[in-house]
Amino acid sequence: MSDSYDVIVIGGGPAGYPAAIRAGQNGLTVACIDEWQNRDGSYAFGGTCLNAGCIPSKALLESSELLHRAREEFPTHGIRIGAATMDVTQMQKRKAGIVKASTQGILALFKSAKVTGLAGHGKLLPGRKVEYTAADGTVTVLEAKSVVLASGSTPMPLKSVPFDGTTVLDSWGALDLAAVPKRLGVIGAGVIGLELGSVWRRLGSEVVVLEALDAFLPMADGAVAKEALKHFKKQGLDIRLGAKVTGATVAAGGVSLSYADAAGAHTLEVDQVVVAIGRRPNSAGLLAEGTGVALDERGFIRVDDECRTGAKGVYAVGDCVRGPMLAHKGKEEGVMVADLIAGRYGEVNYRTIPSVIYTAPEIAWVGQTEEQVKASGRPYKTGVFPFLASGRARAMEATAGFTKVVAGADDDEILGVHVIGPMAGELIAEAVLAMEYSASTEDLQRTIHAHPTLSEALHEAALAADKRAIDFPNR
C-alpha cells in the first residue's frame, strides 16, 4: 500500500469496482477501499450486488424456477421424474459458490488493472485525503488527486417492524434462509419484495405481500403491471394492495403483523417476515467535517449530471446518489467518472437505463410508459405482440405476456419498450440499443430477426405500431 494515489475509490460494489478498474486501465494509480464483511467475518469486494443482492437473488430465482418447471412443465414435455423436491442446503451451497466465484473474480480483475484493493473503512477528509481504517484497526491517512465515493445503500428499516435477523428479516436474511418457512410475510411489493416472495413461494411457502400503495408496480407500464399481477396471483402470491403495515409482535415461532387497509385494521400471522420497503444511501461515517460534499434531505450525496460533488476532485456514483438504485446504473457512472478523471470523454444516458424484474414472467422496460407519454401530451402510437403468438415461446411453454412498443405518432421515434414474458431482461437490450441510437419503429421493422426467436416479438410489436404485424391480427 502506498500513501498516495491518483484515485481512491471508497466502496467496491458495482459502482466502485468498475470505477477503480477503468481508472487503472487509464494508467492511473488507484486504490479501492471496501468494508463489506460476510457473516463469517471475512471481507469481500462486490458490495450488495454480488454478496447480498443481484447475484444471490438470481441464483435462487433460477433454482426455484427450475423446481417449478420440473413440477409443472416436465409432464407436458413427457418427462417423468417422479416427485421433484428441493434440497435447500444444496441450493444455498450452490448460491454461496456463485457469490464466492464472483467476488473473488474482482480480485483477479483488480490485479490485471493494477488496482490496490484495501479491506476496511474509508472516510473522506478535507482536501482529498482519505482516512483508511484497516481490518486490524490500523489507521492511515492516504492522499489522492481524485476521490470517488461509491458507498452504496442498505435496507430501509421499518420503525414499527424492527429487523431482528431471525424472524424479521432484511433482503440479505431472506436470501440466506436455511429452510422454507411455512408462512412468509413480505412488506413492500417493490422489485426486491416480489423477487424474494417468488423464490420462497415456488419452494412452497404461503407468501402474503403487503403493499401500502393501492397501485401495483406503479413505475411499470400500466398494461404490464396488470398482466404481472394476474400471473403472480395465479402463482399463489397473496398480494394485498393498500395494506399499510403499522406494527409487529414477535413471539416464539412467529410474528403477528398489524396492517390497515380501506376495510380497517387487520392482523396477519406468519412464521417470518421480510421487510422490503426500499433502500437508503450509506453516508454515515463516510464524510468528515469540512469536506464540501453535501447530502440532500434523504441522505443522498448531491451530484451534478457528471457525478461531481461540491468538492473539487470528489465524485460520487451508484446507490449513494440520485437515480434508480440499479447495479448497471452505478457501473456506468463509475466508468464515466474514471474516464472524466483521466481527461477522456464520459457520459451516462439516464434516459435509456433498463429496468428488469426477474420474476416469472420476467418484466423489463426502457424509456417511457404509455401513461407517461400520454401525460406529456405528445401524440403517440403503440404496438403490442403477445408471446402466445410466438412459435419459440410456444415451443418453450412460455406464452405468458407480451412486448409493447410506444412511439411518437408523427416522427415514429421509439419512446419506450415494455416486455413481460420469457427472457424479458435479455430482450430489452435490443430496445436499449435502438433507443440509444434514437431509432424509429421503422428501423426495428426493417431489422431482420432470426426465426424462431423470442426477439421476433419486438420486431412484430414494432410492426404492430403501424398495424403491419404479420404473425398476429392487427387491431
CB of 221 to ligand AMP, least distance (A): 16
Q: Please provide the DSSP assignment of 435-461 as one string.
A: HHTT-BHHHHHTS---TT-TTHHHHHH
The grid coordinates of residue 10 equal 471508497
State the residues that interact with ligand AMP by CB under 6 A: 158, 187-192, 210-213, 244-245, 276-278
In the list 9, 21, 32, 54, the residue contacting ligand FAD (rule: CB under 6 A) is 54
Question: Whose Cβ is closer to ligand FAD: residue 317's or residue 384's?
Answer: 317
CA distance 53 to 15: 14
Contacts with ligand FAD: how many residues (CB under 6 A)?
Answer: 36
385 binds ligand FAD (CB under 6 A): no
14 binds ligand FAD (CB under 6 A): yes
In the list 173, 318, 383, 416, the residue contacting ligand FAD (rule: CB under 6 A) is 318
> Cα–Cα distances in Å, from 110 out to 116, 180, 245?
7, 38, 44
Beta bridge partners of 64: none
Question: Whose Cβ is closer to ligand AMP: residue 133's or residue 258's?
Answer: 258
> Is residue 410 helix, strand or coil?
coil
302 binds, among ligand FAD, ligand AMP, none (CB under 5 to 8 A by kind): none
In the list 8, 28, 47, 402, the residue contacting ligand FAD (rule: CB under 6 A) is 47
**What residues numbered 83-142 form the site for ligand FAD, per CB under 6 A?**
121-122
190 binds, among ligand FAD, ligand AMP, none (CB under 5 to 8 A by kind): ligand AMP
Pairing assessment for the beta strands 206-210 and 183-187 based on DSSP bridges: parallel
CB of 240 to ligand AMP, least distance (A): 9
Query: What radius of gyration, in Å, describes the C-alpha atoms of the chain?
Result: 24
CA distance 12 to 148: 11
Which of left, alpha, beta for 328 (phi over 0: left; psi -120 to 50: alpha)? alpha
CB of 327 to ligand FAD, least distance (A): 4
The grid coordinates of residue 1 equal 500500500
- Encode 111-150: b = buried (16+ Cβ within 10 Å), e = exposed: eebebbbbbbbbbbbeebbbebbeeeeeeeebebebbbbb
313 binds, among ligand AMP, ligand FAD, none (CB under 5 to 8 A by kind): none
Q: Packing angle between helix 191-202 and helix 54-72, nearest 10 degrees?
A: 40
Contact range with ligand FAD by CB under 6 A, out of 13-21, 105-113, 247-255, 345-353: 13-21
| Residue 188 host element (H or E) | none
In the list 8, 28, 48, 402, the residue contacting ligand FAD (rule: CB under 6 A) is 48
Strand ranges for 68-164 from DSSP E = 115-125, 129-134, 139-149, 153-155
In the list 10, 158, 189, 293, the residue contacting ligand FAD (rule: CB under 6 A) is 10
Question: Whose Cβ is closer to ligand AMP: residue 19's or residue 275's?
Answer: 275
CA distance 430 to 405: 12
Question: Whose Cβ is closer to ligand AMP: residue 191's or residue 457's?
Answer: 191
> Cα–Cα distances in Å, from 26 out to 20, 29, 34, 118?
10, 9, 21, 20
Beta bridge partners of 249: 256
The grid coordinates of residue 377 equal 401530451
Q: Where are the alpha helices (DSSP H) in 113-203?
A: 171-175, 191-202
CB of 279 to ligand FAD, least distance (A): 7
**What residues numbered 322-361 form the site for ligand FAD, per CB under 6 A?**
325-328, 330, 358
423 binds ligand FAD (CB under 6 A): no
CB of 6 to ligand FAD, least distance (A): 19
CB of 110 to ligand AMP, least distance (A): 31
Pairing assessment for the beta strands 402-408 and 380-386 based on DSSP bridges: antiparallel
Contact between 33 and 10 under an 8 Å Cβ cutoff? The reply is yes
The grid coordinates of residue 283 equal 453516508
Question: Whose Cβ is closer to ligand AMP: residue 44's or residue 276's?
Answer: 276
**What residues numbered 185-244 form the site for ligand FAD, per CB under 6 A?**
192
In the list 7, 12, 115, 189, the residue contacting ligand FAD (rule: CB under 6 A) is 12
CB of 381 to ligand FAD, least distance (A): 30
In the list 8, 32, 36, 273, the residue contacting ligand FAD (rule: CB under 6 A) is 36
> Is residue 39 helix, strand or coil?
coil
Active-site annotation holds for 451: yes
CB of 434 to ligand FAD, least distance (A): 20
- Encode 182-204: b = buried (16+ Cβ within 10 Å), e = exposed: ebbbbbbbbbbbbbbbbbbbbbb
Contact between 229 and 222 under an 8 Å Cβ cutoff? The reply is no
281 binds ligand FAD (CB under 6 A): no
CB of 276 to ligand AMP, least distance (A): 6
Choosing from 231, 266, 451, 459, the catalytic residue is: 451
Question: Whose Cβ is closer to ligand FAD: residue 53's or residue 386's?
Answer: 53
- Active site positions, annotated: 451
Task: Report the interface residues with ligand FAD, using CB under 6 A.
Answer: 10-16, 33-36, 47-49, 53-54, 57, 121-122, 150-153, 171, 192, 282, 285-286, 318-319, 325-328, 330, 358
